[in-house]
Structure formats: structure tokens, C-alpha cells
């Protein structure tokens, strides 16, 4: 690397870190991320990207087109934009103070994709085809990708393949600055459970006239644990967790309803459907046995993400150019994380990789924790990897 190239890389790294901190200070939730979207759009226009669409997916989704000087296919690169309903406690000088937090790394995802956009604009003459940038809200609530796909982000122009990355400390064995790839699938299938148990309210002095919805819910949740202990294949990782239980209005009133919510996570889509069926059956039959009833719904379902082998082969070569072959590792440890990136891969080849950025700290706080943080030093390489992979895939795999 020449002195000029080194200085240019340092300038890009500084810019990406600055972008990450700007996003970090203003996290927004769900499908509406207007402040975040404005920062993205202003930056893209500032580097010469003019083909931008915003307000997508019944929210603040954005697409932007970088057209190469040579003909070819279209590769999409995606970053998620929303934060979490977590009060940040990092003590960082750029920490959020609005009662929300970028406690999952989406601030870095956006910054790295914008850095990649700058690199790709500078290298238009090397692009064989089109790069489509997708900035997607609503990942944390599991509906953003589905809404953007429904809004047509994989068309006009037609997206032939899509790639993305996740940063942080999710996977053991992948240190900061290292890149982890998934040999076959990324993440787990994730299904949200929402259930409402109905009984008959009454005074606690006349319990024989009532049907206690809280008691029904407690028995049903306990019964559900038997699915994991007795119906799960021993060699197949899966977990069912109940995260909330809400019922009752007063200490001396037997509740007439009780709501619970949770998640089902498993590696295999067929097994995921089985666990969904068993959850509904157990909840409804338990309610019926107590003379009550239950309504179960699954507001969103996400499958694990299949990894396209051809894209993966090209990616390994791209990553070696950016970080060196010794810093590219397969992710072998099971981790029940989920990501709605899988929605883009239902009928398109896809690739998702892990960008290690665990901070040099003890303890390292996990994703979604109020004190979650990342090591910013490898963010520049994350941007360079996105750009390099786009150039390589369009050159090697995307030529028409």
C-alpha cells in the first residue's frame, strides 16, 4: 500500500467511525427512523449518489443505486437501521439520551455500508453491473425486510443476489478484526409467540365461580417446557422461551385474561413448524382442561438464511484481499440468533457473514444489553469488504 493509499484508508476509517457515532447518538425504533434516514440520504447525495428512493415499506426504507460503467447483473447490499427500546448505560461521550439504544450494532452496519458506497462510487469504472444499497428499518421487530420486499426493493432494477453482514461479539472464536463465514446457513428460524388465555373473572372470596386465566397461563408455560426436554431431537439445537406474562388488574380479583409472548428458535424450518404446532396444541388444550380458552398467534416467522455456495467461494477470496486469509474463519459454534435478512433470500441467492468487533473489555456485554459496545477499529475493513465483494461478485459471478 502506498503512502497516499494508506492516508486515504485512514481518512475513510475516521469518516466511518464518525458516522457510526452520529447514528449511535440518535437511535430510532421500528419502521419509522426519520432522523436516521435523513443522515443516510444526505451522505449519499454528498458522495454523488442521486438515484435514491425513500419512504419505502410503509416506513423509512431507502434504496440507492450505484451504476457501474460496464454491463452486468445487480447485487444488493443491505444494512439495518433501527435501534432497541433499551436505556443506554455505556457512558460513551456519544451515548444516546433519548431512552433508546443502538445496542445491536446497526449503527455500525449503516456506517460501513455508507463507507462501502463511497468506495464503490470512486470505483464505478470497475463495476460490472449495478450495486443496489438497501437501508432497512424494522429488523428488530422482524417485519422490516418483509415489508421492503413487498414494496419491490428487489426489483427496478431486478436484484440477482444479495449480501450483508453483522458486527459485534455474537460468535465465540471470532475476535475483533476477524471475519466469520457460515458454511451452509446463518442463524436460526425465529417465530414470535403471542397467546391470550381467557377465563372468567371473579372475586377471590368466591373462586369457585371464576376461572383463573393466570393459573391457566402458568400451567401452559410449564407444560411447554416438556417440548424441549422430551420432544426435541438430542442432536438438534432449539429453544422455546417465554419473555412476558401479563394478567390481572387487582390483588383480590381473579383475572379473566392473561397474555404471554415469547419466541421459538430452531435450526431447521421443518422442525420450526413442528414446534409451532406443539405450542398451539399445548396452550389450547391446557386452557380447555381448566374450562378456559386460548388464542395463539405467530405474528412473524423468520427462517434461517441459506448461504449460496458460489457467493461464499467468491467472498472468501474477497475477504482474503481485505483482511488476509488467516483472519477468515468458519463459524462453527451454534448460536440461536435470528435476522430478517432471510426474507430477501426466499427466491434470491444470498450471503451473510459475521464481522468481528468485540471490544477489548472485561466483561464484554452482549448484544441488546444496556452497556453493549463494539471495537470501532475494524469498521473500515468492514466497509472495504462490502465493496470488494461487490466488485468481485459482479466481475466473477454476475456478468451477463
- The pLDDT tens digits of the residues spanning 230-242 come to 999 998 899 999 9
Phi and psi dihedrals of 54, rounded to 5? Answer: -135, 175
Average pLDDT over residues 34-62: 98
Question: Of 278, 301, 324, which one is at a domain's C-terminal end?
Answer: 301
Question: Of 272, 301, 330, which one is at a domain's C-terminal end?
Answer: 301
Would you state the pLDDT for residue 267? Answer: 87
Average pLDDT over residues 132-159: 97
Query: Looking at the structure, do residues 259 and 320 belong to the same domain, yes or no?
Result: no
Query: Looking at the structure, do residues 217 and 263 belong to the same domain, yes or no?
Result: yes
Would you state the pLDDT for residue 207? Answer: 94
In three-state secondary structure terms, 6 is helix
Question: Of 280, 301, 322, which one is at a domain's C-terminal end?
Answer: 301
Would you state the pLDDT for residue 316? Answer: 98
Residue 307 has pLDDT above 90, yes or no: yes
Would you state the pLDDT for residue 226? Answer: 95
Query: Looking at the structure, do residues 294 and 308 belong to the same domain, yes or no?
Result: no
On the 0-12 / 13-18 / 19+ scale of CB atoms within 10 A, 9 is middle
Query: Looking at the structure, do residues 156 and 272 belong to the same domain, yes or no?
Result: no
Query: Looking at the structure, do residues 290 and 324 belong to the same domain, yes or no?
Result: no
Query: Looking at the structure, do residues 193 and 176 belong to the same domain, yes or no?
Result: no
How far is it, in rounded angstroms, from Cα 27 to Cα 80? 12
Query: Looking at the structure, do residues 91 and 152 belong to the same domain, yes or no?
Result: yes
Average pLDDT over residues 129-153: 97
Query: Looking at the structure, do residues 33 and 132 belong to the same domain, yes or no?
Result: yes
Chain mean pLDDT for the chain: 95
Average pLDDT over residues 78-96: 98
Each residue's pLDDT tens digit, 160-181: 999 999 999 999 899 999 999 9
Would you state the pLDDT for residue 8? Answer: 81
The CATH number covering residue 87 comes to 3.40.630.10
Would you state the pLDDT for residue 2? Answer: 62
Total number of domains constituting the chain: 2
Residues in Cβ contact with 188 at an 8 Å cutoff, skipping those fewer than 6 apart: 237, 265, 266, 267, 304, 335, 336, 337, 338
Helix (H) or strand (E) holding 381: helix 379-396
pLDDT band at 393 (very low <50, low <70, confident <90, very high): very high
Each residue's pLDDT tens digit, 53-81: 999 999 999 999 999 999 999 999 999 99
Residue 219 has pLDDT above 90, yes or no: yes
Higher pLDDT, 335 or 400: 335
Residue 119 has pLDDT above 80, yes or no: yes
Average pLDDT over residues 338-356: 96
Would you state the pLDDT for residue 232? Answer: 94
The CATH number covering residue 268 comes to 3.30.70.360
Q: What is the pTM of this model?
A: 0.91
Query: Percent of the chain scored above 90 by pLDDT?
Result: 90
Q: Where are the beta strands (DSSP E) in the chain?
A: 52-56, 61-67, 70-80, 128-136, 161-168, 179-181, 185-186, 189-198, 202-203, 238-247, 253-254, 257-266, 293-297, 301-302, 305-306, 328-330, 350-356
Residue 382 has pLDDT above 90, yes or no: yes
How far is it, in rounded angstroms, from Cα 345 to Cα 352? 10
Query: Looking at the structure, do residues 213 and 72 belong to the same domain, yes or no?
Result: no
pLDDT band at 268 (very low <50, low <70, confident <90, very high): confident
Would you state the pLDDT for residue 195? Answer: 98
pLDDT band at 396 (very low <50, low <70, confident <90, very high): confident
Closest among 400, 382, 394 to 126, alpha carbons compared: 394
Query: Looking at the structure, do residues 144 and 166 belong to the same domain, yes or no?
Result: yes
Residue 388 neighbours by CB distance under 10 Å: 22
Query: Looking at the structure, do residues 17 and 132 belong to the same domain, yes or no?
Result: yes
Residue 183 has pLDDT above 50, yes or no: yes
Residue 400 has pLDDT above 50, yes or no: no
The counts of H helices and E strands in the chain are 8, 17
Range of the domain at 145: 3-187+304-396
Average pLDDT over residues 359-378: 96
Residue 4 has pLDDT above 60, yes or no: no
Average pLDDT over residues 227-232: 95
Would you state the pLDDT for residue 246? Answer: 97
Q: Where are the beta strands (DSSP E) in 220-365?
A: 238-247, 253-254, 257-266, 293-297, 301-302, 305-306, 328-330, 350-356
Query: Looking at the structure, do residues 76 and 168 belong to the same domain, yes or no?
Result: yes
How far is it, in rounded angstroms, from Cα 77 to Cα 95? 27
Amino acid at each position: 500500500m502506498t503512502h497516499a493509499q494508506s492516508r486515504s484508508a485512514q481518512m475513510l476509517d475516521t469518516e466511518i467511525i464518525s458516522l457510526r457515532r452520529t447514528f449511535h447518538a440518535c437511535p430510532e425504533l421500528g419502521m419509522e427512523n426519520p432522523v436516521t434516514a435523513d443522515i443516510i440520504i444526505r451522505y449519499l447525495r454528498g458522495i454523488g449518489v442521486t438515484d435514491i428512493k425513500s419512504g419505502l415499506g410503509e416506513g423509512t426504507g431507502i434504496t440507492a443505486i450505484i451504476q457501474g460503467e460496464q454491463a452486468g447483473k445487480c447485487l444488493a447490499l443491505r444494512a439495518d437501521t433501527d435501534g432497541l427500546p433499551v436505556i443506554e448505560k455505556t457512558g460513551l461521550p456519544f451515548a444516546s439520551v433519548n431512552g433508546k439504544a443502538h445496542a445491536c450494532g446497526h449503527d455500525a452496519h449503516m456506517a460501513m455500508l455508507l463507507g462501502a458506497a463511497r468506495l464503490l462510487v470512486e470505483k464505478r469504472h470497475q463495476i460490472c453491473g449495478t450495486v443496489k444499497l438497501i437501508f432497512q428499518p424494522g429488523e428488530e421487530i422482524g417485519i422490516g425486510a418483509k415489508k421492503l420486499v413487498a414494496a419491490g426493493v428487489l426489483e427496478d432494477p431486478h436484484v440477482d443476489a444479495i449480501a450483508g453482514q453483522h458486527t459485534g461479539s455474537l460468535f465465540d472464536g471470532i475476535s475483533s478484526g476477524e471475519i466469520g463465514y457460515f458454511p451452509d446457513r446463518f442463524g436460526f428460524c425465529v417465530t414470535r409467540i403471542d397467546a391470550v388465555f381467557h377465563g372468567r373473572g371473579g372475586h377471590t372470596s368466591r373462586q369457585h365461580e371464576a376461572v383463573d386465566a393466570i393459573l391457566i397461563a402458568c400451567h401452559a408455560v410449564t407444560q411447554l417446557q416438556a417440548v424441549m426436554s422430551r420432544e426435541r431431537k438430542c442432536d438438534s439445537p432449539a429453544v422455546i422461551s417465554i419473555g412476558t406474562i401479563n394478567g390481572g388488574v387487582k390483588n383480590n380479583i381473579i383475572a379473566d385474561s392473561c397474555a404471554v409472548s415469547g419466541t421459538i428458535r430452531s435450526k431447521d424450518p421443518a422442525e420450526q413448524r413442528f414446534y409451532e404446532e406443539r405450542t398451539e396444541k399445548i396452550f389450547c388444550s391446557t386452557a380447555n382442561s381448566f374450562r378456559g380458552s386460548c388464542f395463539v398467534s405467530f405474528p412473524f416467522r423468520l427462517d434461517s438464511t441459506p448461504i449460496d455456495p458460489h457467493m461464499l467461494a467468491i467472498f472468501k477470496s474477497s475477504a482474503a484481499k481485505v483482511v488476509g486469509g488467516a483472519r477468515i474463519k468458519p463459524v462453527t459454534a451454534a448460536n440461536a440468533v435470528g435476522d430478517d435478512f432471510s426474507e430477501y433470500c426466499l427466491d434470491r441467492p444470498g450471503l451473510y457473514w459475521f464481522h468481528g468487533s468485540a471490544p477489548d473489555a472485561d466483561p464484554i456485554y452482549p448484544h441488546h444489553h444496556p452497556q453493549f459496545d463494539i471495537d470501532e477499529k475494524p469498521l473500515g475493513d468492514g466497509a472495504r469488504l462490502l465493496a470488494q465483494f461487490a466488485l468481485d461478485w459482479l466481475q466473477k459471478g454476475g456478468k451477463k
